[in-house]
Amino acid sequence: MGATLANLLQQLEPGLELVVLERLPALAAESSAAMNNAGTGHAANCELNYTPQAADGSVPTAKALAINASFERSLELWSSLVERQVLADPQAFIRPVPHLSFVWGEDSVAFLQRRHQALAATPQFAAMVWSTDPAQLREWMPLVMQGRPLDQPLAATRVARGTDVNFGALSQQLLAGVEVRRGHEVVALQRQGPDWIVQVRTADGGLQRFQAPFVFLGAGGGSLPLLQRSGIPEGRIYGAFPVSGQWLVCRNPAVIAAHNAKVYGKAAVGAPPMSVPHLDTRWIDGQRALLFGPYAGFSTRFLKQGSLWDLPNSVRPSNLLPTLQVGLENFELVRYLVGQVVQSAAQRLESLRAFLPEAAAADWELAVAGQRVQIIKQVNGRGRLQMGTEVVCSADGSLAALLGASPGASTAAQTMLELLQQCWPERMAGGAWQQRLRQLIPSWGQDLGGDAELLSRVRERNNRVLGLDPLSR
Ligand SMILES: Cc1cc2nc3c(=O)[nH]c(=O)nc-3n(C[C@H](O)[C@H](O)[C@H](O)COP(=O)(O)OP(=O)(O)OC[C@H]3O[C@@H](n4cnc5c(N)ncnc54)[C@H](O)[C@@H]3O)c2cc1C
């Protein structure tokens, strides 16, 4: 997120003085690192949690359409940056990988069919294909079908134009022309006149101060504590609920080579949306990889290398009650997380075998996936657990923070553009920024979903520049 914002600002305001402060010695080593997320270019092609079934059985599509358009914006930005040679090799951060949703059992198949009917009727998802035919499913995902009993209904949808994104590699490329101070941990923020004084602890234990008229807190899980330290009133209504994740990583080259898709299933009852099981083909450092998960877990840390005191320290008088309410009202979630934490290797293998019936334990290794810090927000005096991302801005637009982690890195361009709109409404409304934005994101200000011709033009360019054309595979 910070890398995207830094790059956007450089494009919109050449000559602007900006610095990125990073606590770790490496760049993009927290949530955006390749192995700390699933690398799915979230376009709502396969993620069933973006289209939850309504009480009357219908499948609302608004969220899926919005996420799809957001991801296309990210692709537009990356395409422009490739054309401007700001990003070097698109293959280093994005590869085409088909996106599939796969379900079994009568109710789930009926749901997937309704989802397909609703989405495929829109220009954005017109290329989504549906099948219940075992032969077709075998062609799409041979390993998933191998050894699978056919005594219950099965169905899948497939979008050939799906992607795998290495957000770590992308962030590093985005930061290549930006001044970055590594080993610089922000520990405090104070207002001084029109500026912010940002206090930093350096790797050698020293203290430094930076002065700036604008600060973005893009610290991932570390954003909430910094927002609280800034003291802005807009931050008082937030608390946090960390959910950690683990993967099973395939170590057998033959199995990795035999699967080429991101296959998303349905979340278990009570499971948070980010725990939807999926089997992911990945491209990491030019090599194909295969991950399954994530298995959810619970840790009070907000960052992988954070402190166990992160959660207790984030509880303030202003968010204590909402946090307790969320704990009490989300009993199914808490029960699910406890179940995940205590599950055995055999139980993890059983979940994997729901996707790969013939998976061998010896081929898979457990690895840490990372932390997601979900938002607890006070709405009408009550605490609500939110699974999305949220930009929080001070009233004067001098400080902004990004909270939450879903749909995450995929929608970074849209999210950072919204941030710019909140913090610099006048500049975004016209003049040089508006002109540069239209060059950077050609569909800027237009409705991708409502204009099929524009959508196909934008997609054609993104496919060409980023090498995503499904027909070329
Ligand atoms: C299991 C899992 C699977 C996911 N799958 C996907 C997916 O498939 N697709 C997708 O789009 N998204 C996915 N996400 C979400 C995605 O990883 C995040 O939304 C995204 O990486 C967040 O980027 P960020 O820049 O906000 O945070 P980060 O990448 O965590 O960057 C924050 C940076 O701030 C630094 N920092 C923290 N505190 C301080 C401080 N005090 N001072 C200085 N520096 C600090 C950190 O070291 C870090 O480098 C997934 C997340 C998880 C956990």
Strand partners, 365: 249
Q: How far apart are CA 394 and CA 361, in angstroms?
A: 51
5, 24, 30: which to mutate for ligand 1, most atoms within 8 A of CB?
30
Q: What does the DSSP assignment read for 234-269?
A: GGTTEEEEEEEEEEEEE--HHHHHT--SEEE-PPPT
Amino acid identity at 136: Q
4, 7, 27, 31: which to mutate for ligand 1, most atoms within 8 A of CB?
31
Which atom number of ligand 1 is nearest to the Cα of residue 404?
Answer: 19
Ligand 1 surroundings by CB, under 6 angstroms: 1-2, 21-24, 28-32, 36-40, 42, 167, 185-186, 218-220, 222, 226, 245, 294, 303, 369-370, 372, 402, 405, 407-410
Q: How far is the CA of 53 from the centre of ligand 1 (A)?
A: 29
Provide the 10 A C-beta neighbour count for residue 424.
16
User: Would you state the pLDDT for residue 473?
Assistant: 46
Evaluate the CA torsion angle 435, 436, 442, 448 in order and state its sign.
negative
Q: Are 224 and 238 in contact (CB under 8 A)?
A: yes
| Sequential pLDDT tens for the chain (473 residues) | 999 999 999 999 999 999 999 999 999 999 999 999 999 999 999 999 899 999 998 999 999 999 999 999 999 999 999 999 999 999 999 999 999 999 999 999 999 999 999 999 999 999 999 999 999 999 999 999 999 999 999 999 999 999 999 999 999 999 999 999 999 999 999 999 999 999 999 999 999 999 999 999 999 999 999 999 999 999 988 998 888 888 999 999 999 999 999 999 987 766 666 668 899 999 999 999 999 988 887 788 999 888 889 888 888 888 888 888 887 777 777 777 777 777 888 989 999 999 999 999 999 999 988 888 888 888 887 888 887 889 999 999 999 999 987 778 999 999 999 999 999 999 999 899 999 999 999 999 899 988 999 999 999 999 999 999 765 44
Q: How far is the CA of 226 from the centre of ligand 1 (A)?
A: 15
User: Would you state the pLDDT for residue 26?
Assistant: 95
Q: How far is the CA of 371 from the centre of ligand 1 (A)?
A: 8
Q: How far is the CA of 38 from the centre of ligand 1 (A)?
A: 12
User: Would you state the pLDDT for residue 270?
Assistant: 62
Q: Which residue segments constitute the domains of the chain, with CATH numbers given?
A: 2-173+236-472 (3.30.9.10)
For residue 383, give the 3-state DSSP assignment. strand
User: Would you state the pLDDT for residue 215?
Assistant: 98
What phi-psi label fits residue 92: left (phi over 0), alpha (psi between -120 and 50 degrees) or beta? alpha
Which atom number of ligand 1 is nearest to the Cα of residue 245?
Answer: 1
The helices-and-strands tally (H runs, E runs) of the chain is: 16, 19
User: Would you state the pLDDT for residue 274?
Assistant: 61
Which atom number of ligand 1 is nearest to the Cα of residue 39?
Answer: 8
Q: Whose CA is nearest to atom 50 of ligand 1?
A: 37
User: Would you state the pLDDT for residue 101?
Assistant: 98
Q: How far is the CA of 85 from the centre of ligand 1 (A)?
A: 25
Selection from 370, 378, 37, 28 nearest residue 218 by Cα: 28
User: How long is the chain?
Assistant: 473
> Structure tokens of 429?
């409304």
Q: What are phi and psi of 415, to 5 degrees?
A: -65, -45
7, 19, 20, 32: which to mutate for ligand 1, most atoms within 8 A of CB?
32
Selection from 169, 246, 238 nearest residue 404 by Cα: 238
Q: How far apart are CA 390 and CA 385, in angstroms?
A: 12
